[in-house]
């Protein structure tokens, strides 16, 4: 598997739905809301296996000192 990494904040709802439901997270049932929310996170990094979203980490921060990892998902 040759993964590549990206710092995009733009995701298709379908890619998010597949990833979040692969780990049985209920929020995967709301992919449009996830796509909108991720555009506003302080940091978003994703791993891709070809065109498939294979992993995601997203952090919220105050812009100065504090950050919280809100999402950390890896497709099984």
What is the rounded CA–CA span in Å between residue 44 and residue 71? 9
In this prediction, residue 76 carries a pLDDT of 93
In this prediction, residue 1 carries a pLDDT of 64
In this prediction, residue 74 carries a pLDDT of 96
What is the rounded CA–CA span in Å between residue 46 and residue 53? 7
What is the rounded CA–CA span in Å between residue 41 and residue 60? 5
Q: What is the pTM of this model?
A: 0.88
**Averaged pLDDT in 10-residue chunks for the chain of 76 residues:** 89 96 96 95 94 95 89 95
In this prediction, residue 67 carries a pLDDT of 87
Bridge partners of 43? 59
């Amino acid at each position: 598997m040759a993964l590549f990494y990206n710092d995009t904040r733009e995701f298709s709802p379908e890619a998010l739905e597949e990833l979040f439901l692969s780990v049985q997270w209920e929020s995967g049932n709301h992919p449009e809301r996830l796509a909108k929310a991720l555009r506003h996170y302080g940091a978003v990094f994703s791993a891709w296996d070809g065109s498939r979203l294979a992993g995601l980490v997203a952090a919220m921060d105050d812009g100065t000192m504090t950050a919280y990892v809100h999402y950390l998902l890896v497709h099984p």
